[in-house]
Structure 1
Amino acid sequence: MRTLCSSTLIGEALVIMFAALVAMQLSDVPHGTLWAVSGTAMALCVLLCGMVTRPGGVALGWALQIGLVAAGAVVPIMYGLGAVFAALWWCSVHYGRRIDALRAARAAAQV
């Protein structure tokens, strides 16, 4: 699960950075505020890569997905991109857990 979720989060951090660049040109939000929020979200994406298998890691990931969709209020295309990343997050968690279970079953069968 860690690999799939981490890949999604790193991609999401890049999308947040590019969305901030677009928001600088299209919105009236002060640049300092824009980069403080975007920088925090990008840092959270990277930190969450290491926390995804810990208790609460997946829930924090879902909170991040909600925040990404909410960013559509500043950059409207983020509604769509947020929905895509929320779907990718669901797939990463769902199929990552299935892969982990299959690996554990295979390891138990080899012993």
Structure 2
Amino acid sequence: MRILCAAVLSMESILMGFALLIAKDQASIDQIWFGAAIAILLLLTSGILKRKGGYLLGSIWQIFVIGYGLVIPLMFYLGGLFAILWVVAIYLGRKGEAIKAINIASLDKDGPKQR
């Protein structure tokens, strides 16, 4: 789960970098700094996903990325897309971890398989 979510946050950080290139001509300096802060926080959060609080922070940053659509309207759509990717990454990650746990439990019960 951590790898999928970290990939989503890292790509979203790159997306915010591209959004800042658009914002430099259309937005105030405060809005640009706010976007840069979001990009940096997304990247930092991808590194702290080992803790449970990392997933909560990642979910909060999804709201901020969608909210950056007030500065660049296209971010409403792209932020929404990445929010969906975030939810899917969490869902598939949990599903994969459950399958992995079942496989490990069956190995412990049956012992190693002979070839």
Task: State if a TM-score over 0.5 links the two structures.
Answer: yes
Determine which of 36, 52, 55 is the counterpart of 1:55: 52
TM-score under structure 1 normalisation? 0.89
- SS of 1:65's equivalent in the other structure is helix
| Corresponding residue SS for 1:56 | helix
Deviation of 1:35 (Å): 4.2
Give the whole-Å Cα distance in 1 for the aligned partners of 2:99 and 2:31.
43
Unpaired segments ≥5 residues, structure 1: none
Q: Which amino acid aligns with 2:83?
A: A
- How far has the Cα of 1:75 moved from its partner? 0.2
State the Cα deviation string for residues 14-68 of structure 1 (Å, max 9, x = none). 00000011011123x12xx344323321221122112224122211111100000
- Structure 1 stretches of 4+ with a deviation exceeding 4 A read none
The TM-score with structure 2 as length reference comes to 0.86
**Structure 2 residue matching 1:52: 3-state secondary structure:** coil
The worse-fitting range, judged by mean Cα deviation, of 8-17 and 51-60 is 51-60
Question: What CA distance in whole angstroms lies between the structure 2 residues aligned with 1:109 and 1:83?
Answer: 39
Asked if the contact 2:23–2:71 (Cα under 8 Å) also holds between the matched residues in 1, the reply is yes
Q: Could you tell me whether the CA contact under 8 Å between 1:12 and 1:45 is conserved in 2? A: yes
The answer to whether the aligner puts 1:86 opposite 2:83 as a matched pair is yes
Distance 1:104 1:47 in 2: 29
Specify the structure having the higher radius of gyration (Cα).
2
> Between the two proteins, what is the percent identity of the paired residues?
32
